[in-house]
Amino acid sequence: MLIAFRLLIVFIATIPAFAAVNDALARGGIAQIAAVLVTLSAATVPLGDLSIVWPLLRRVSLAIAFPIAWMVLQIVPLPFTSLVNPIWSITTAAMGEASRWGHVSVDPGATLRSLVFYLAMLALMISTAFIARDRKRAETAFFVVTTVLTILSAEVLIGQAKSFAGMIPPVGSAASELFIATSALAMLCNCAVAIMAVERHLSRKEADNSSPGALAIRLGPALIGIIIAGAAARILAPNFAIAALVLGLSALFFVAAFRRLGLQPSAATIVFLIVAGIAVAIVFPHLQGNTADGIAGFASSSNAEALSATTRILSATPWLGNGVGTFRTLMPAYGDFGSVPQGAPTTALSVAIEWGWPALAVLVALALHLFVFLFRGALRRGRDWHFASTAAASILVMLAEAFCDTSLLSPAVQVIAAVIVGIGLSQSVGRTSKLK
């Protein structure tokens, strides 16, 4: 049974990855190629790891399957005029044809490409979860991700020098949002490495970690990374993104504190959610970046044309959305004359337009569900809980940032997030632990 399941997982994961690599070769997409390379390595995972990872995947199966089901619904032809996008009935009427069939998506091809890319990212996350079942491999992968994020943050600092002016996009531009997200994730990962070093030093269970020299070797680079990431965030990040980072850091340190206090995972999770919910309700409404109504008010972008066009599209968006990946198709029809913005001001606005309001609410709820699962996993782990807590904190930061910028739409951020969540998911339960 396990052999069949292993082959099924590798087969399912490899098909979208190979499809993605064809698109990658045509467009130069590094993210898709990275997904292929990690996916193919899943074939080397021991069978024993599958019996541990599979229950974890089942617990988050709704979060995994919902985006697939929703995009398939948007792609397939439907005979219900109340569900399909009005553009199809208008088109058939203009052509003198009578047809009740249509699609939810205004561009099924773009939605299909989005589905393939999502499957590639899913394959990357699942493959990472398989590979990171070994604690040494998980630690190595985590350190590599932390190093990459720190280098990206250092690039922001280097770009402030006159000799390297122009290397980093200007502060406040949409292109700089990638570095806002990577600096926030770099801060979380370096803080996790620092906490890991201090905890191992205090426990003194490993002889190599009991000396002050070993502590300095581990703690020194982490502190340098924290300084670099903090400086990069201070340069680029708006107030809302800083608040999102603080929320993620609070989750990281709450886990460490709760573990020291010996609180039960369920009780500790409830306490954190209550405290965090009150803090968000008090602080976040005062961090609106503009005067727009609703979630558009949190956009940090100052592009008035994009905000105006997005608001018009949003007001005409059906409940099932316009189709994932179709925002650029819609913009020419709603943009101001002579000015056609290329993207939405925030990820949340893009999701609301492409997926629909109900799907946005479900996706937020599923992200919180995944956060709770990883948060509780970090509390119930005997050791190596830092990976799950960092993944949980990263989900909070990315979820909050989705309402102020478009960093989560970047393939590079999606790849990094998939790897971090994959490591955290894999290490949220020990080899001998039972899910509760």
pLDDT (tens digit per residue) in 172-198: 666 778 899 999 999 999 999 999 888
Structural contact between residues 183 and 152, judged by C-beta atoms closer than 8 angstroms: yes
pLDDT at 415: 92
Contact 212, 190 (CB under 8 A): no
Any domain includes 305: no
- The answer to whether residue 343 sits within a structural domain is no
> What's the angle, vertex CA 311, arms to CA 403 and CA 292, rounded to 5?
65
- Domain with 37, as residue range(s), is 2-291+349-426
Read off the amino acid at residue 79.
P
* Separation CA 99–CA 410 (nearest Å): 38
Report the DSSP beta bridge partners of residue 78.
102
* DSSP secondary structure string for all residues of 360-372: HHHHHHHHHHHHH
Work out the pLDDT band at 432, boundaries 50, 70, 90: low
Chain centre to alpha carbon of residue 234:
21
Q: What is the pTM of this model?
A: 0.85
Residue 344 to residue 321: CA distance in whole angstroms: 15
- Asked, for residue 188, whether it belongs to a domain, the answer is yes
Between 387 and 4, the higher pLDDT residue: 387
Query: CA-CA distance, 344 to 255, in Å (whole number)?
Result: 35
**Residue 386 within any structural domain of the chain:** yes
For residue 19, being part of any structural domain is answered with yes
Q: Which residue has the higher pLDDT, 69 or 430?
A: 69
- Distance, in Å, from the CA atom of 172 to the CA atom of 406, rounded to the nearest integer, reads 12
Q: What is the pLDDT, as a whole number, of residue 87?
A: 73
Residue 339 lies in a domain: no
- Give 258-261's long-range contacts (Cβ < 8 A, gap of 24+): 258/379, 259/379, 259/385
Residue 408 lies in a domain: yes
Per-residue pLDDT reduced to its tens digit, 108-138: 899 999 999 999 999 889 888 888 888 888 8
pLDDT tens digit sequence for 340-377: 566 788 999 999 999 999 999 999 999 999 999 999 99
Is-contact 318 85, C-beta < 8 A?
yes
Please report which confidence band the pLDDT of residue 99 belongs to, taking 50, 70 and 90 as the band edges: low
Q: Does residue 1 or residue 190 have the better pLDDT?
A: 190
Number of domains the chain is built from = 1
Q: Once rounded to an integer, what is the mean pLDDT over residues 145-158?
A: 92
- The SS3 assignment for 120 reads helix
Nearest one of 361, 354, 349 to 292, comparing CA atoms: 349
